[in-house]
Structure 1
């Protein structure tokens, strides 16, 4: 039997756990074991119970990359460089830069690392790629 109360879970998480539990029981797993596995699966997929806005953690690397990106955009705005000015190629360059590294997928980060010829990029995780590109 899983421990702890489930009041912090969303309705969607509770439905998902119930569905998973039923699936395990159909396969012959005991009721208690099925329930424990179901909640373990929900926790693995969604990170546990419902969290408020401040409950979501961001790595220091991601925070640093976001701050650096924000500062770069602020300087560009201060100097009158905005996506609405300049040539079409300048606009596409500035809009591609304005996306935060943390908002990019690992594949997009790999592509950018490939363009910059970052050594060891193929073995890097997403947070390591962000650090190397910052």
Structure 2
């Protein structure tokens, strides 16, 4: 099996792979298999060598705020301008979302209700 270049990995990822490889070799695993498993583990944990820590690109607070705002706008658009507790809006929400709304309005028996029953209860409560 050809060994790929490890140049794109951070020093921390390389140290982690070396430690894992040594651990496998200590348990009696052949060196090539131990190395393959070590790098597979590092890749799984950190997402590969192009991202330090595997968290993807760094995102500034401003970019995160914009992303949240855009997400909220898309969510509002899916309700097609209806009031949050209108039957049309309630139909487009997930059961989990309806449960949160029912919890905030303290609707009794909500945990045993189906989605249709939650919609009915919320439309009468709102």
TM-score tier after normalising by the smaller chain length: 0.3 to 0.5
Structure showing greater relative contact order (alpha-carbon pairs closer than 8 Å, 6 or more residues apart): 1
What TM-score, normalized to structure 2?
Answer: 0.46
Greater CA radius of gyration, 1 or 2? 2
What TM-score, normalized to structure 1?
Answer: 0.43
